[in-house]
C-alpha cells in the first residue's frame, strides 16, 4: 500500500476507544473499521453529515494496535507497557503519552479509577507494580538487600509528579510550587523552584521533588496525595478536564544515588554566596581604581591601590567551592558506575497531555471547541504550540538529527532528558477516543494529530 508506513521500533502509536458513557447511551456511534497491514493498522471513520466535518476519514497505516471499547486496562498494559520493562531494567527511559479530548479516558488509562481490581489498574500503577517486583528480586539476589530500603544499594523507585502550565512547571509534590524551566550552560534543562535564602547565607534552589519509595503501597499513597493537587478547570465535556500536561516519572534509584544528588544541591547552595562574595570583592577593589577627569575621560586613581591579595583570596575560595561541586557531581556519576545492576536511573515516564480540543491543524474548521474565556484561549494556543513542538521533536529523534528542537516549547524542554534517555528505550502515544457521534470532531482531531505524530515517528525508518 502506498500510504503504509512502517512503525519505528522506538516510537509507537496506539488507539484506545472507550465505551459510550451512560449519558451518551442514546447517541449514535461513529462508524469505524480497522485495516491491518503487516505490523500496523489504519482506521476508517464515517460520520453523520455535518457542515464542518468530512463524511468519511481514513488514517494512514499509522497505528501499532487499536484497542476496542471492551479492552480492559490490563490488556492495554500488556500490549503497550509490559514489553518495555526489560528496557527500563537496562537503565533506559520509556515514555508513554496519553492524548485525547477531555473525558476520552486518559486518566482512566494512565491512573485508573478502580485500583482494587487488577484489570482496572491504570498503566502507570501496573508499571510500578511490575517494577517493584523486578527490583525486589534484584535486591534479594544481590545479597543482603532487604528490599525495604535499609541498605545504601537497595533499589527503590523515586516518583515525581508535576504539571506544565503554560511556561511553568508546577510541582504537585511540593504544594503546587511554581518552578522555572530553563536551559543551563551545560545544555541540560533545569526545572528549579524559587530561590530560598537560608539563615547561613546559603542560597538553595530546589529541583522537582522526588519521593523515594520502597514499596508499591508507599508509592500509591504519595501519588494519591499528589493527584489531589491537580488543577482542574471548567470544561463543556468533562468536569475534571485538565488544561495542563501532567508528567509522572518513576525512576530506579538507590539511597547512595539520592544522597549523592542531595550533596550536589548542597554544594551548589554553598557555592552561590561564595561566588557572589568573589564578584563583590572584585567590584569593590576596582570601583575606586579609576576616576573621571573634568573632560569626562577615565584615568587611574593615583590615591588607590587595588588589593590584589584580597581579590585572589576570594577567587581561591570560589574555586575551592567549585571543586567541591565538581566532586559531588562526579560522585553521582560514580553511583551509576559502581551499581551492580544496569537498571539504576531507568525510568518510566507517563505524560497525560492536555486535551485534544485545543489542537488545531492549519485552518481546520472541523474542530469546534467549547466556548472559552480569553485566558483559556491563550492556554489553548500554548497547548497547541506544545503539541506541534512535540511532533517535531519526535520527527527529529526518528531521523536521528544531531539537533533536536527541544527548546521550542516548555513541554519539549522538560521532556529533553526523557527523549535522550529513551535511546535504548521507547516512546509510545496512546490516543484515547470516544465512539460517540456527539464527540466526533474531538475524536477526529485526536486521530489526525496521532496520525501526524505516527508519521513523524516513522520517518527515516524502514
Ligand X SMILES: Nc1ncnc2c1ncn2[C@@H]1O[C@H](COP(=O)(O)OP(=O)(O)OP(=O)(O)O)[C@@H](O)[C@H]1O
The minimum distance between CB 77 and ligand X, in angstroms, equals: 12
DSSP letter string over 395-436? HHHHTT-SS--GGGSHHHHHHHHHHHHTTTSEEEEEEEE--B
Is 436 among the residues that bind ligand X (CB under 6 A)?
Answer: no
First to last CA, the chain: 14
In the complex with ligand X, the residue whose CB is nearer, 113 or 143, is 113
In the complex with ligand X, the residue whose CB is nearer, 422 or 432, is 432
Is 230 among the residues that bind ligand X (CB under 6 A)?
Answer: no
Is 439 among the residues that bind ligand X (CB under 6 A)?
Answer: no
The Cα 240–Cα 243 span in angstroms is 10
For residues 237 and 370, the answer to whether their CB atoms sit within 8 Å is yes
| Residue 74 is labelled as binding a ligand | no
Residue nearest to ligand X (CB): 105
Task: Retrieve residue 415's grid coordinates.
Answer: 521532556
How big is the site for ligand X, counted in residues (CB under 6 A)? Answer: 19
Task: Retrieve residue 236's grid coordinates.
Answer: 463543556
For 359, how many CA atoms within 13 A lie in the half-sphere containing its CB?
A: 28
Binder among 204, 238, 277, 304 for ligand X (CB under 6 A): 238
Is 106 among the residues that bind ligand X (CB under 6 A)?
Answer: yes
Is 53 among the residues that bind ligand X (CB under 6 A)?
Answer: no
Binder among 240, 259, 280, 364 for ligand X (CB under 6 A): 240
Bridge partners, residue 180, by sequence = 168, 192
Residue 280: exposure state from Cβ atoms within 10 A (0-12, 13-18, ≥19): exposed
The Cα 409–Cα 395 span in angstroms is 15
Is 241 among the residues that bind ligand X (CB under 6 A)?
Answer: yes
| Residue range at the interface with ligand X (CB under 6 A); choices 36-44, 98-106, 282-290, 400-408 | 98-106
| Residue range at the interface with ligand X (CB under 6 A); choices 106-114, 217-225, 246-254, 272-280 | 106-114
Binder among 60, 103, 345, 369 for ligand X (CB under 6 A): 103
Annotated binding site for ATP: 100-107
State the residues that interact with ligand X by CB under 6 A: 18-19, 21, 100, 102-108, 113, 235, 238, 240-242, 355, 432
Amino acid at each position: 500500500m502506498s500510504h503504509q508506513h512502517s512503525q519505528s521500533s522506538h516510537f509507537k502509536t496506539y488507539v484506545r476507544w472507550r465505551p459510550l458513557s451512560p449519558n451518551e447511551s442514546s447517541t449514535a456511534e461513529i462508524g469505524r473499521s480497522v485495516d491491518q497491514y503487516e505490523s500496523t493498522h489504519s482506521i476508517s471513520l464515517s460520520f453523520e453529515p455535518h457542515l464542518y466535518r468530512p463524511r468519511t476519514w481514513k488514517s494512514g497505516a499509522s497505528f501499532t494496535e487499536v484497542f476496542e471499547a471492551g479492552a480492559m486496562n490490563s490488556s492495554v498494559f500488556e500490549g503497550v507497557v509490559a514489553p518495555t520493562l526489560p528496557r527500563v531494567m537496562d537503565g533506559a527511559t520509556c515514555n508513554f503519552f496519553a492524548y485525547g479530548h477531555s473525558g476520552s479516558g486518559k486518566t482512566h488509562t494512565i491512573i485508573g479509577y478502580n485500583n482494587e481490581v487488577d484489570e482496572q489498574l491504570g498503566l502507570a500503577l501496573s508499571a510500578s507494580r511490575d517494577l517493584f517486583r523486578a527490583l525486589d528480586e534484584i535486591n534479594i539476589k544481590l545479597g543482603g538487600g532487604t528490599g525495604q530500603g535499609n541498605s545504601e544499594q537497595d533499589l527503590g523507585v523515586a516518583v515525581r509528579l508535576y504539571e506544565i502550565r503554560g511556561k511553568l512547571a508546577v510541582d504537585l509534590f511540593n504544594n503546587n510550587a511554581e518552578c522555572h524551566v530553563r536551559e543551563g550552560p551545560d545544555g541540560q534543562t533545569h526545572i528549579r523552584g524559587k530561590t530560598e535564602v537560608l539563615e547561613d547565607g546559603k542560597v538553595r534552589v530546589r529541583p522537582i521533588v522526588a519521593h523515594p519509595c520502597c514499596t508499591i503501597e508507599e508509592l500509591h499513597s504519595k501519588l494519591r496525595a499528589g493527584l489531589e493537587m491537580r488543577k482542574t478547570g471548567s470544561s463543556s465535556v468533562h468536569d475534571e478536564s485538565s488544561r495542563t500536561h501532567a508528567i509522572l516519572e518513576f525512576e530506579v534509584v538507590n539511597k547512595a544515588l539520592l544522597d549523592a544528588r542531595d550533596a550536589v544541591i548542597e554544594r551548589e547552595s554553598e557555592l552561590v554566596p561564595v561566588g557572589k562574595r568573589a564578584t563583590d570583592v572584585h567590584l569593590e577593589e576596582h570601583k575606586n581604581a579609576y576616576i573621571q577627569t573634568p573632560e569626562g575621560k577615565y584615568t587611574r586613581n593615583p590615591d588607590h591601590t587595588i588589593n590584589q591579595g584580597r581579590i585572589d583570596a576570594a577567587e581561591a575560595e570560589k574555586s575551592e567551592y567549585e571543586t567541591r561541586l565538581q566532586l559531588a557531581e562526579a560522585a553521582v556519576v560514580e553511583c551509576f558506575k559502581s551499581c551492580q545492576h544496569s537498571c539504576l536511573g531507568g525510568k518510566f515516564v507517563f505524560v497525560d497531555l492536555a486535551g485534544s480540543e485545543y489542537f488545531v491543524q492549519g485552518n481546520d474548521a472541523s474542530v469546534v471547541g467549547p466556548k472559552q474565556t480569553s485566558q483559556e484561549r491563550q492556554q489553548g494556543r500554548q497547548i497547541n504550540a506544545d503539541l506541534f513542538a512535540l511532533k517535531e521533536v519526535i520527527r527529529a529523534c526518528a531521523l536521528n538529527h544531531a539537533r533536536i528542537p527541544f527548546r521550542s516549547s516548555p513541554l519539549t524542554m522538560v521532556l529533553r532528558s526523557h527523549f535522550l534517555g529513551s535511546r535504548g528505550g521507547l516512546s509510545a502515544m496512546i490516543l484515547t477516543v470516544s465512539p460517540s457521534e456527539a464527540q466526533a470532531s474531538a475524536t477526529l482531531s485526536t486521530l489526525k494529530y496521532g496520525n501526524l505524530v505516527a508519521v513523524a515517528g516513522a520517518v527515516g525508518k524502514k
